[in-house]
């Protein structure tokens, strides 16, 4: 299969000058997007996160014959979460490759294909299963460019749902943002909205380095407004740039993926009590947009970090250290971290809810840093 793909890619390189020119324009447009991220004021339509991922991957595969998708049930079944719906009849089995249930095997094949100049998109049914392939992700993909003195690029995307879903137990509910975010050589992205998913997936596929793309199972069906600009096939978002979802002056709240939604809801509640929260959607875990976070904290003088992963060595811990190193003198209150509980995820629904961050947890933390919390005795 890979030999066929290599031959097709070589043929496209010789005769596909139009595709090469289009690729150049796409890269230029992505660089232009780095000038700044805009909100949804120019929204043209609504789109689910699933539809955003599907359209982004469809357009990138259409624009570049080197891009192909592989993973369990991505073809005949159209993806476990229907992200690859319609791909098999459009692109054929050579570019939409159904694999056996062997993450270590097909991830290694994907990395090898990237060594040869192809651009694999490897789909994991869940990132919990990617633990079977973590040797290829870290040792084979992340380190090769450095160990080859820059002679071998590894343009590959590892994507799939990350974090807790609902009632799937401890082995299927982990957040891997901090795991992969600690590894040099990887870029780690975590979209929240449809526009995030569309723009970041395009950027990930075009990037010359390995990218871990962390989606969320519970977000696939969520519908968001999408701007007219984001619907253009040349659209992408810059890797390493956070987005201020809501401006405020009293407290900064950082979050990524599903936790952005909870943080925005918490900000609405806080606004009714006279606290204006600035909500930052991180988008990129590695590289982390430290300048945007520090600039916000220097304005609000307070910080609450939110993530559903474990507390120890988490993304929030890294953000806290960044603030202590660069903006400690601006803090008017201790930093608050909201995380998942430091336990394996319970299966029971009531315990699962207790183990994950909730809106009320964010509200209470923001009130504490703003010295507005109600004493426990007053609520007894």
Pairing of strands 223-227, 43-48: antiparallel
Can you name the residues that pair with 286 across neighbouring β-strands? Answer: 188
CA–CA separation, 342 vs 178, rounded Å?
A: 14
CB 244 within 8 A of CB 38: no
CB 80 within 8 A of CB 40: no
Nearest one of 196, 209, 5, 228 to 109, comparing CA atoms: 5
Two tokens at 48?
Answer: 């689910």
* Dihedral sign, Cα of residue 171, residue 310, residue 239, residue 83: positive
Q: Which helix (H) or strand (E) holds 21?
A: helix 17-33
CA–CA separation, 239 vs 256, rounded Å?
A: 14
Nearest one of 290, 292, 302 to 332, comparing CA atoms: 302
Q: Tell me which of 103, 195, 308, 352 is the catalytic residue.
A: 103
Nearest one of 214, 171, 154, 97 to 345, comparing CA atoms: 171
Can you name the residues that pair with 212 across neighbouring β-strands? Answer: 158, 188
Q: Tell me which of 51, 172, 245, 278 is the catalytic residue.
A: 172
Pairing of strands 243-246, 277-281: antiparallel
Two tokens at 267?
Answer: 């900000």
Two tokens at 147?
Answer: 């160990």
Burial 120-147 (b: 16+ CB within 10 A, else e): bbbbbbbbbbbbebbebbbebbbbbbee
Residue 196 to residues 241, 288, 331: CA-CA distances in angstroms? Answer: 11, 16, 30
Cα angle at 133 between 285 and 205, to 5 degrees? 50
CA–CA separation, 196 vs 219, rounded Å?
A: 12
CB 128 within 8 A of CB 121: no
136 is catalytic: no
Q: Which helix (H) or strand (E) holds 108?
A: helix 103-115
172 is catalytic: yes
Q: Which residues are catalytic?
A: 103, 172
């Amino acid at each position: 299969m890979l030999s066929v793909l290599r031959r097709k890619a070589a043929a496209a390189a010789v005769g596909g000058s139009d595709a090469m020119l289009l690729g150049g324009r796409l890269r230029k447009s992505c660089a232009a997007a780095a000038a700044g991220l805009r909100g949804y004021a120019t929204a043209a339509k609504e789109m689910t996160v699933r539809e955003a991922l599907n359209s982004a991957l469809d357009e990138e595969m259409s624009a570049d014959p080197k891009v192909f998708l592989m993973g369990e049930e991505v073809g005949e079944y159209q993806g476990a979460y229907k992200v690859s719906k319609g791909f098999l009849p459009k692109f054929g089995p050579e570019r939409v490759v159904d694999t056996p249930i062997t993450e270590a095997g097909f991830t290694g094949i994907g990395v090898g294909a990237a060594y040869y100049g192809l651009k694999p998109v490897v789909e994991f049914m869940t990132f919990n299963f990617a633990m079977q392939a973590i040797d290829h992700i870290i040792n084979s993909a992340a380190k090769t460019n450095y160990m080859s003195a820059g002679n071998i690029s590894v343009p590959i995307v590892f994507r799939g749902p990350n974090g807790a879903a609902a009632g799937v137990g401890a082995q299927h509910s982990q957040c891997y943002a901090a795991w992969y975010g600690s590894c040099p050589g990887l870029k780690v992205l975590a979209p929240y909205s449809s526009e995030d998913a569309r723009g970041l997936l395009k950027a990930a596929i075009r990037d010359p380095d390995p990218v871990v793309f962390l989606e969320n199972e519970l977000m696939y069906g969520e519908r968001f407004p999408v701007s007219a600009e984001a619907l253009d096939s040349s659209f992408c978002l810059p890797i390493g740039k956070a987005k201020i979802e809501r401006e405020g002056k009293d407290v900064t709240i950082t979050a990524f993926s599903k936790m952005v939604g909870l943080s925005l809801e918490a900000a609405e509640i806080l606004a009714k009590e006279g606290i204006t929260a600035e909500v930052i959607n991180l988008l990129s875990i590695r590289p982390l947009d430290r300048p945007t976070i520090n600039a916000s904290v220097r304005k609000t003088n307070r910080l609450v970090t939110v993530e559903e992963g474990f507390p120890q060595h988490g993304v929030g811990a890294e953000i806290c250290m960044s603030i202590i190193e660069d903006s400690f003198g601006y803090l008017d209150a201790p930093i608050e971290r909201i995380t998942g509980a430091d336990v394996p995820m319970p299966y029971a629904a009531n315990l699962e809810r207790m183990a994950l961050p909730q809106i009320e947890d964010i509200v209470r933390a923001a009130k504490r840093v703003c010295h507005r919390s109600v004493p426990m005795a007053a609520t007894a």
